[in-house]
């Protein structure tokens, strides 16, 4: 067991340099949220900067507003597109209907520059199918008041935003109680299938046309304007004096219909965000930037590298910490209960929440994903180490004591070898869970197979979902059989079942 821990450490450390990215501090990092419009805008900004000779990368599909805002403040990203309504309600938590100059002043105090609006307003709206609209004759939000039986499906962000469901409900005095939180891209499916009656929309969503949805009028003016804007760090101006004029070239050139068309080209037309952004920039500025669309094999290679990096490092670290914790717990049952309790509680923390907690400490990308995976890998290993040690029969313990072996030698020569099978089983469970959980790395810019899954869900692209899910499943199987082989070679024949060993 101890030999194995050393092995894991050596493997982990020797692989580390392989995965270090080539990005330098000079690279401008553009962030985007995990919905199509944000990704398109992120792509437009990135390509625009690149075609003007700046070194820029796009960290796309990051977790949510709070995650991006914290990353921006920390300098983990340098700029990202957001919306005025979101800035007022989510970031500044200020009075509604502030003017753009007011917002600029407030953000400047935190070292962030707010550029002028891009030119379109993507506000929240509520939508129902044509059939539902006719059945209940729904035209405006206040019409909903008469039908408490309607069931609503909202994005999780909308469920608890300042300007989201709670204040909408209070503003209109809505009586509905069947309200569920779900992913925006799945909400359309639910609406189409009839399992929910009403969803929240972004007014530039491509699906409004595609599904022929009926948008309810905000007759009591609850939703503020959501003008798209770019937020960037002041210190960019020091490193790149031309930055302000570059960004300003992008302002006031979009329109609601243009953005809806671009969204539609990606979501319905199946084009990549990169291509749509490129076409837009070339019509707009007559530029001829080239975009590289990596092929399937290089995409897989990249995501495999990222995924293995996450799994190997976090699992090795978990083994090095969890086995000693389990031993400690087995030797001292009182502390064992406490250790199991703490590790169990960690397991229940939602992954996105854990990632958000860690941004101030670790930023975005690999480190927070590694720490989260490490924490989630502890429980099975600790528990199996503890039970493997506790299950050693009394007469074996007495034998070891009666020989006069000192405590540490008993652990090394007798107890750990006897608990090996149980410990290995715990590590195996952890490893398989870890491979699956590592897909959440994509939420925080650590890449891996989750990237393809996330994009696939967003674009309703089954092939893309499988591009992430199949390798992840294969990797889980590979990990499982590696540990089975390991058990075959390293487990003492005396601990295998009798039939096996007598032959």
Partner 1 sequence: MIQLSHVSKRFGDQEVIHDLSLKIPQNETIVLIGPSGCGKSTLLRLMIGLLVPEEGKVSLFQQELTSENIESVRQKVGFVLQDGGLFPHLTAKQNTCLMAQFLGHETNWINSRLSELRDLTHLSDAVMDRYPNQLSGGQIQRVALMRALMLDPDILFLDEPLGALDPLHRVGLQEDMKTIFTQLKKTVVMVTHDMGEAASLADKIVLMREGRIVQFDTLTNLSTTPADPFVTTFINAQRKPWQHLEDQIK
Residues 6 or more apart in contact with residue 49 via CB below 8 angstroms: 28, 30, 56, 246
The Cβ-side half-sphere exposure at 367, using a 13 Å CA radius, reads 10
Q: Which long-range contacts (CB under 8 A, 24 or more apart) does 289-298 make?
A: 289/47, 289/50, 289/51, 291/47, 296/467
Q: Does 3 bind partner 1 (CB under 8 A)?
A: no
Cβ-based nearer residue to partner 1, 66 or 397: 397
Give the residue, chosen from 20, 402, 408, 485, that forms a contact with partner 1 under the rule CB under 8 A.
402
Cβ-based nearer residue to partner 1, 11 or 413: 413
- Report residue 469 as tokens: 């899910």
CB of 418 to partner 1, least distance (A): 6
CB of 501 to partner 1, least distance (A): 6
CA distance 38 to 35: 6
Give the residue, chosen from 399, 462, 481, 482, that forms a contact with partner 1 under the rule CB under 8 A.
399
Cβ-based nearer residue to partner 1, 269 or 333: 333
CB of 399 to partner 1, least distance (A): 3
CB of 21 to partner 1, least distance (A): 44
User: How many residues contact partner 1, by CB under 8 A?
Assistant: 24
Q: Does 396 bind partner 1 (CB under 8 A)?
A: yes
Asked whether 446 and 306 are in contact (CB, 8 A), the reply is: yes
Q: If you write DSSP's letter for every residue of 131-150 in order, what string do you get?
A: HHHHHHT--BGGGGGG-TT-
Q: Does 2 bind partner 1 (CB under 8 A)?
A: no
Asked whether 45 and 79 are in contact (CB, 8 A), the reply is: yes
| Alpha carbon distance, N-terminus to C-terminus of the chain | 26
Interface with partner 1 by CB under 8 A: which range of 182-190, 347-355, 396-404, 431-439?
Answer: 396-404
Conformation bin of residue 135: beta by default, left when phi > 0, alpha when psi is -120 to 50: alpha
Residues 6 or more apart in contact with residue 476 via CB below 8 angstroms: 431, 432, 435, 436
Identify which of 221, 209, 51, 230 has the alpha carbon closest to the alpha carbon of residue 130: 209
Interface with partner 1 by CB under 8 A: which range of 31-39, 337-345, 405-413, 470-478?
Answer: 405-413
CB of 34 to partner 1, least distance (A): 50
Contacting partner 1 within 414-433 (CB under 8 A): 414, 417-418, 420
Q: Does 395 bind partner 1 (CB under 8 A)?
A: yes
Q: Which residues of 356-384 are buried (b: 16+ CB within 10 A; e: fewer)?
A: bebbeebbbbbebbbbbbbbbbbbbbbbb
Q: Does 105 bind partner 1 (CB under 8 A)?
A: no
- Report residue 301 as tokens: 């290679």
Give the residue, chosen from 55, 105, 170, 398, that forms a contact with partner 1 under the rule CB under 8 A.
398
Q: Does 389 bind partner 1 (CB under 8 A)?
A: no
Contacting partner 1 within 442-501 (CB under 8 A): 492-495, 498, 501
Give the residue, chosen from 53, 101, 295, 406, that forms a contact with partner 1 under the rule CB under 8 A.
406
Cβ-based nearer residue to partner 1, 104 or 397: 397
Identify which of 115, 34, 20 has the alpha carbon closest to the alpha carbon of residue 459: 34
> 293: burial class by Cβ within 10 Å (0-12, 13-18, 19+)?
exposed
CB of 500 to partner 1, least distance (A): 10
Q: Does 208 bind partner 1 (CB under 8 A)?
A: no
Contacting partner 1 within 21-40 (CB under 8 A): none
Asked whether 118 and 250 are in contact (CB, 8 A), the reply is: yes
Q: Does 248 bind partner 1 (CB under 8 A)?
A: no
Cβ-based nearer residue to partner 1, 53 or 393: 393
Q: Does 332 bind partner 1 (CB under 8 A)?
A: no
Instruction: Catalog residues that contact partner 1 under the rule CB under 8 A.
Output: 395-396, 398-406, 409, 413-414, 417-418, 420, 492-495, 498, 501-502
């Amino acid at each position: 067991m101890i030999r194995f821990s050393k092995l894991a450490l050596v493997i982990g450390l020797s692989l580390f340099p392989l995965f270090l990215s080539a990005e330098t501090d000079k690279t401008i990092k553009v962030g985007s949220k995990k919905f199509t419009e944000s990704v398109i805008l992120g792509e437009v900004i990135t390509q625009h900067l690149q075609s003007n000779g700046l070194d820029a990368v796009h960290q796309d599909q990051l977790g949510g507003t709070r995650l991006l805002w914290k990353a921006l403040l920390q300098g983990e990203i340098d700029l990202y597109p957001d919306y005025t309504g979101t800035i007022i309600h989510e970031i500044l938590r200020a009075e509604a209907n502030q003017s753009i100059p007011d917002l600029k002043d407030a953000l400047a105090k935190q070292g962030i520059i707010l550029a002028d609006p891009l030119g379109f307003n993507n506000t929240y709206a509520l939508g129902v199918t044509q059939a539902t609209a006719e059945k209940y004759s729904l035209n405006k939000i206040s019409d909903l008041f008469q039908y408490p039986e309607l069931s609503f499906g909202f994005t999780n962000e909308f469920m608890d935003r300042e300007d989201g469901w709670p204040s909408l409900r209070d503003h209109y005095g809505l009586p509905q109680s069947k309200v569920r939180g779900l992913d925006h891209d799945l909400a359309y499916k639910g609406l189409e299938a009839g399992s929910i009656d009403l969803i929240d929309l972004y007014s530039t969503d491509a699906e409004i046309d595609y599904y022929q949805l009926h948008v309810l009028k905000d007759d009591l003016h609850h939703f503020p304007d959501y003008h798209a804007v770019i937020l960037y760090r002041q210190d960019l101006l020091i490193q790149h004096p031309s930055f302000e004029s570059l960004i300003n070239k992008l302002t006031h050139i979009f329109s609601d219909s243009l953005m809806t068309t671009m969204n539609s080209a990606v979501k319905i037309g199946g084009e990549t965000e990169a291509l749509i952004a490129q076409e837009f920039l070339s019509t707009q500025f007559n530029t001829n930037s080239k975009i590289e669309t990596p092929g399937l094999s290089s995409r897989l290679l990249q995501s495999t590298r990222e995924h293995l990096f996450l799994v190997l490092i976090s699992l090795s670290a978990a083994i090095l910490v969890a086995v000693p914790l389990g031993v400690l717990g087995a030797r001292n049952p009182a502390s064992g209960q406490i250790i199991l309790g703490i590790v169990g509680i960690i397991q229940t923390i939602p992954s996105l929440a854990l990632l958000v907690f860690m941004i101030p400490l670790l930023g975005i990308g690999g480190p927070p994903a590694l720490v989260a995976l490490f924490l989630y890998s502890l429980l099975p290993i600790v528990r199996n180490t503890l039970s493997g040690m506790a299950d050693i029969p009394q007469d074996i313990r007495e034998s070891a004591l009666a020989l006069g072996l000192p405590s540490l030698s008993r652990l090394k020569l007798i107890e750990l070898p006897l608990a090996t099978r149980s410990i290995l089983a715990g590590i195996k469970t952890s490893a398989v869970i870890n491979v699956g959980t590592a897909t959440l790395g994509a939420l925080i810019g650590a890449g891996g197979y989750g990237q393809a899954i996330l994009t696939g869900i967003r674009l309703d692209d089954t092939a893309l979902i499988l591009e992430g899910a199949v390798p992840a499943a294969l990797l889980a199987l590979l990990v499982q059989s590696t540990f089975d082989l390991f058990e075959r070679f390293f487990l003492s024949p005396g601990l295998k079942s009798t039939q096996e060993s007598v032959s």
